[in-house]
């Protein structure tokens, strides 16, 4: 990865045209060929960029550009669309290259698998006195996340999402329809559990007799099921 801090102007040509007048900016040229133009603001979002597959070439500035103070020109061209990003560099303040190696990727905390494991250990959150039957309980169209029985023995199918939307409610509805055909389970109640449930999803779930359960992931992580705690 090459990091360049420079006073530069940027022109984008292609499906749309855009211009950034001269200013001091950070240019990030990545190993995949992409170029990102950042200002000292706007969080992670670049002012302009070119995504791969693309190719960067260095050009000599024209006479008019050189007389205006341009010392170097970069042209980054997209290999498929032909869109181009042309960077005029007036002054290079910093220029460094770094080998970052292979990145292992983002490991998310609080994904659905973690929520499923924690809720399986804390099924009282679904219904007081409930017991776990099985995680990943099979149906003909895929497994429902949890199957539990409440204190009276009634079956409850639980579908878990990080963010609950209408698609998740529809998914649980299909599971309930199939599970309800099993005389050993019927009638099956439904619980739609998520860290955040969208208002439209809640309305749809409640209209179908499905109970919504908002999960507090931080609170759930603080509970060690079955393990005595001194503090």
Q: What is the pLDDT of residue 227?
A: 43
The residues spanned by each domain of the chain are 2-97, 111-223
Q: What is the pLDDT of residue 183?
A: 93
Q: What is the pLDDT of residue 225?
A: 44
Which CATH topology does 2-97 take?
Answer: Protein Yojf; Chain: A; (2.70.180)
Tell me how far apart the alpha carbons of residues 80 and 219 are, in angstroms, rounded to a whole number: 49
Computed over every residue of the chain, the mean pLDDT equals 91
pTM, 2 dp = 0.53
Contact between 161 and 177 under an 8 Å Cβ cutoff? The reply is no
List phi, psi (to 5°) of 212: -100, 140
Contact between 150 and 125 under an 8 Å Cβ cutoff? The reply is no
Q: What share of the chain has pLDDT > 90, as a percent?
A: 80
Return the bridge partners of 48, or none.
37
160-214 confidence digits (pLDDT tens): 999 999 999 999 999 999 999 999 999 999 999 999 999 999 999 999 999 999 9
72-130 confidence digits (pLDDT tens): 999 999 999 999 999 999 999 999 999 988 777 655 555 788 899 999 999 999 999 99
Tell me how far apart the alpha carbons of residues 126 and 56 are, in angstroms, rounded to a whole number: 56
Using only the alpha carbons of the chain, give its radius of gyration: 28
Handedness of CA 85, 91, 93, 95 (dihedral sign): positive
Q: What is the pLDDT of residue 213?
A: 96
Q: What is the pLDDT of residue 97?
A: 96
Q: What is the pLDDT of residue 109?
A: 52
Contact between 193 and 144 under an 8 Å Cβ cutoff? The reply is no
Tell me how far apart the alpha carbons of residues 156 and 134 are, in angstroms, rounded to a whole number: 11
Tell me how far apart the alpha carbons of residues 51 and 85 are, in angstroms, rounded to a whole number: 10
**CATH of span 111-223:** 3.40.1350.10
DSSP annotation of 53 reads S
């Amino acid at each position: 990865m090459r990091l360049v801090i420079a006073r530069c102007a940027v022109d984008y040509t292609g499906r749309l045209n855009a211009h950034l007048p001269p200013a001091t900016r950070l240019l990030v040229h990545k190993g995949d060929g992409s170029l990102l133009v950042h200002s000292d603001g706007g969080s992670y979002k670049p002012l302009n960029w070119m995504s791969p597959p693309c190719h960067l070439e260095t050009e000599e500035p024209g006479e008019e550009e050189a007389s205006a103070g341009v010392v170097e020109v970069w042209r980054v061209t997209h290999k498929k669309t032909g869109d181009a990003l042309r960077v005029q560099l007036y002054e290079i303040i910093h220029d460094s290259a770094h080998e970052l190696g292979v990145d292992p990727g983002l490991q998310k905390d609080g994904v659905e698998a973690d929520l499923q494991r924690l809720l399986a250990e804390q099924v009282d959150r679904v219904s007081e006195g409930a017991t776990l039957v099985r995680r990943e309980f099979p149906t003909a169209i895929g497994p429902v996340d949890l199957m539990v029985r409440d204190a009276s023995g009634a079956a409850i199918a639980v579908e878990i999402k990080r963010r609950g939307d209408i698609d998740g409610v529809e998914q649980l509805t299909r599971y309930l329809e199939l599970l309800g055909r099993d005389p050993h389970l019927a009638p099956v109640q439904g619980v739609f559990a998520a860290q955040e449930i969208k208002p439209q999803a809640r309305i749809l779930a409640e209209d179908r007799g499905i109970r919504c359960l908002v999960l507090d992931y931080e609170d759930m992580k603080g509970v060690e099921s079955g393990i005595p705690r001194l503090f």
